[in-house]
Amino acid sequence: MARVRQKGTAPELAVRLAVTSLGHRYRIGPRLPGRPDLANQTERWAIFVHGCFWHRHSGCRRTTTPTRNRQFWLDKFAANQARDARVIRELRRRGFVVLRLWECETVDRAKLQRVLLRFFERIGQSSS
C-alpha cells in the first residue's frame, strides 16, 4: 500500500462540511509544513485529518499492526509519527493553532461539531 495522499476522503469531507457550517473559510492542502488538510493562514489555524492506522491513533481499534513484515511496519509508523510531530511543531512555531483530528472522530457528526467548536473558541475566532 503506497502512501498516496488522497483528497476528499469521507473523513476529510465530513470535517470540511463541519468547518463550513461553523462559518469558517479555509484552503485545502495549502503549502504549509505537512500540507494540513484544512488551514486558514489569516486566522492562523490548521487542521489535520489523520488516518488512525497510518498515524497511530493511540488506543484506537483501527490502530492495528500487520504481523507480516512487522519491523517494516514499525519503522514506517515511527517515521510517520516523527514527521507528524515535526510538522506540528513547525506550524506552532509559525504561530498556527493546530488541531489533529482522527478519522474515527469524524464518524459522529455531532461530536465532530463539538470538537471543532471548542477548537475555534480556543483560538478566539468563533465569531468571525
CB of 116 to Zn ion, least distance (A): 17
Give the interface segment with Zn ion, choosing from 16-24, 50-58, 69-77, 117-125 (CB under 5 A).
50-58
**3-state class of 45 per DSSP?**
strand
Looking at the Cβ atoms of 30 and 51, the one nearer to Zn ion is 51
Identity of the residue, 20 or 65, whose beta carbon is nearer to Zn ion in the bound complex: 65
* Contact between 104 and Zn ion per CB under 5 A: yes
Q: What are phi and psi of 38, to 5 degrees?
A: -140, 140
From the list 36-44, 70-78, 94-102, 114-122, the region that binds Zn ion by CB under 5 A is 94-102
Q: Please tell me the chain's helix, strand, coil percentages from 3-state DSSP, rounded to the nearest 5.
A: 45, 15, 40
The phi, psi pair for 101, rounded to 5°, reads -105, 140
